[in-house]
Amino acid sequence: MKFEHQKTNEILKWFEEITKIPRCSKDEGAICEWLINWAKENNFEVKTDKVQNVLIKVPANPGYENSPIMVIQGHVDMVCEKTPDSAHDFTKDPIKLVYDGEWLTADKTSLGADNGIAIAMAMTMALDKEMPRPALELLFTVDEETGLTGASALEPGFIEGRILINIDSEDEGYFTVGCAGGINTNLAVPFELADVPGDHKLLKIKAGGMKGGHSGIDINKQKANAIKVLTQALNDAAEKVEIRLANISGGTAHNAIPRDCEAFVYVPVNKVDELNTILAETEKTLNMEFKNTDPDLFIKAEETSETFEQALTAANTKKIFDFIIILPHGVAAMSTDIEGLVETSNNLARVRIEDGQIKVLTSQRSSLVSRLEALTYRIEAVARLAGGEAKSGDGYPPWQPNMNSSLLARSLKIYEGLFNKKPVVEVIHAGLECGIIGDKNPGMDMISIGPTLKNPHSPDEKVHIGTIGMVWDFTAELLKELK
């Protein structure tokens, strides 16, 4: 498709190429190699580090040889989510793009505009020989979505520039100048297995139809968590029907609110109808609770051909339900400094049965290190009280806002002059790499911007095409003024 803004067409051309390359988090080898080859083909200096972060150095255009270097930064990986009925294989299949009026989305998968649009925009800047701009450093980091791994591994001195634009924000007209820090925690609780009586029947219980979303941006929207929904339904049933859990699986990434969860359970044959009745009652209750956020929520039991040699005992099943129910999910505290900002939260992100243990992944965020640590300790304590263990990662620091930033002041003036309106300056609850990059590179002046992106980290992800050109126009004018 062709759009009125010429640079939008160029950016989308590169984005379409990017969507053909597998780049789920921790599987970024192909996209990094592609970028390195692209840089060499265009005679740009390029280097990588031990984790495959890519830095491409682009010379200044005429008249800007003595101007300060501008770092354009984004991440190469994407959250790979798809609908239950999608056969898409993220390890080899290109993303199927769908142009829908003013929006670009994908067919039953996440789009990867988070953060492929940043890569495409940076490439377009680099190739524009007429654009008034200083030298650029295109910094493309790996594995941002699973814990900002690439940014955390950056060595001091890898980049030279001290002015940075991160193109990973999700609302055009917003300048992000601060974000939350985060820690992921893996919990593991053992259980006992036993043979199942012959008068029991195996059923697959599914909870789905939920919207999910980004665990930072959307955590305050009261969306349903499929793991919590399914566990509540099964726990309600376990009050009246003997339930033996054989398996449970739900959620995908640490930063995606779970949309689907399923469990295999054994119940007495003569209690199947009662189980279905209780599930229907719980579904009705939850449909009322989440009618505005997740109107398609469902809970249903299905016949299955699966078999399991053993299952958890009824007592251990109840213990596992208690463990999941008591784990926090959602907003823990709102900021007392910035109205409307979530300060601290947790995402109950994933549950699995593996190696004789129930394994759970949680993701905590906070703009205050002390409260981030306190919430993490609370979650670790739940695992210990359940007879299990917990292991938390190193996490990443919050990005503390600098309201006296010269880059911010210049950006505000340029934006208002271009669009005749004031942009919004914000601190967000999601994690951005700026905090880590700034910590490793003292004196870095940074803002984060981006086109309008809806429903990231889900199959409903879409980018507003018109805002891509607006972000380009703003960035181009900012670069022009750095002479």
Q: The domain spanning residue 284 has which CATH number?
A: 3.30.70.360
Residues 332 and 425 reside in one and the same domain: no
- Ranges of residues in the chain with a pLDDT under 70 are none
The residue among 392, 415, 449 that closes a domain is: 392
- 77 in active site: yes
The residue among 370, 392, 414 that closes a domain is: 392
Residues 195 and 79 reside in one and the same domain: no
**CA 74 to CA 151: how far, in whole Å?**
10
Residues 425 and 469 reside in one and the same domain: yes
Please tell me which residue in 10, 28, 77, 171 is annotated as part of the active site. Answer: 77
Domain assignment present for residue 44? The answer is yes
Residues 295 and 386 reside in one and the same domain: yes
The values of phi and psi at residue 359, to 5°, are -115, 130
Residues 283 and 307 reside in one and the same domain: yes
Domain assignment present for residue 471? The answer is yes
pLDDT attached to residue 4: 85
Residues 110 and 141 reside in one and the same domain: yes
Which residue has tokens 């972000």? 471
Domain assignment present for residue 236? The answer is yes
pLDDT attached to residue 3: 82
Residues 87 and 195 reside in one and the same domain: no
CA distances from 46 to 58, 139, 163, 322 (A): 9, 10, 19, 52
CA angle 201, 206, 207 (to 5 degrees): 145
pLDDT attached to residue 143: 95
DSSP alpha helix (H) spans, 292-331 = 314-326
pLDDT attached to residue 477: 97
Residues 117 and 132 reside in one and the same domain: yes
Residue 439 belongs to what domain range?
Answer: 6-180+398-480
Residues 297 and 160 reside in one and the same domain: no
> Residue 120's Cα: distance from chain center in Å?
19
Residues 227 and 165 reside in one and the same domain: no
Torsion angle defined by CA atoms of residues 141, 423, 102 and 224, in that order, rounded to the nearest 10 degrees? 70
The DSSP H or E segment spanning 360 is strand 357-366
**CA 254 to CA 482: how far, in whole Å?**
38
Strands (E), 59-172: 70-75, 97-100, 103-106, 136-141, 163-166
**CA 363 to CA 182: how far, in whole Å?**
7
pTM of the model: 0.82
pLDDT attached to residue 483: 82
**CA 168 to CA 145: how far, in whole Å?**
11
Domain assignment present for residue 114? The answer is yes
448 touches 176 (CB < 8 A): yes
pLDDT attached to residue 457: 87
Here the tokens at position 96 are 């199927």
CATH number of the structural domain spanning residue 443 = 3.40.630.10
Residues 152 and 66 reside in one and the same domain: yes
The residue among 373, 392, 411 that closes a domain is: 392
136 touches 67 (CB < 8 A): no
Domain count, the chain: 2
Which residue has tokens 């593996």? 354
Q: What proportions of the chain, in percent to the nearest 5, are helix, strand and coil?
A: 30, 30, 40
pLDDT attached to residue 431: 84
Domain assignment present for residue 1? The answer is no
Residues in contact with 377: Cβ distance below 8 Å, sequence separation at least 6, in sequence order:
none
**CA 23 to CA 115: how far, in whole Å?**
11
**CA 94 to CA 112: how far, in whole Å?**
11
Residues in contact with 150: Cβ distance below 8 Å, sequence separation at least 6, in sequence order:
51, 52, 53, 75, 141, 142, 143, 144, 433
Domain assignment present for residue 301? The answer is yes
**CA 363 to CA 430: how far, in whole Å?**
11
Please tell me which residue in 10, 114, 144, 168 is annotated as part of the active site. Answer: 144
* Residue 348: strand, helix, or coil: strand
Q: How many CB atoms lie within 10 A of CB 359?
A: 15
Domain assignment present for residue 21? The answer is yes
Residues 248 and 321 reside in one and the same domain: yes
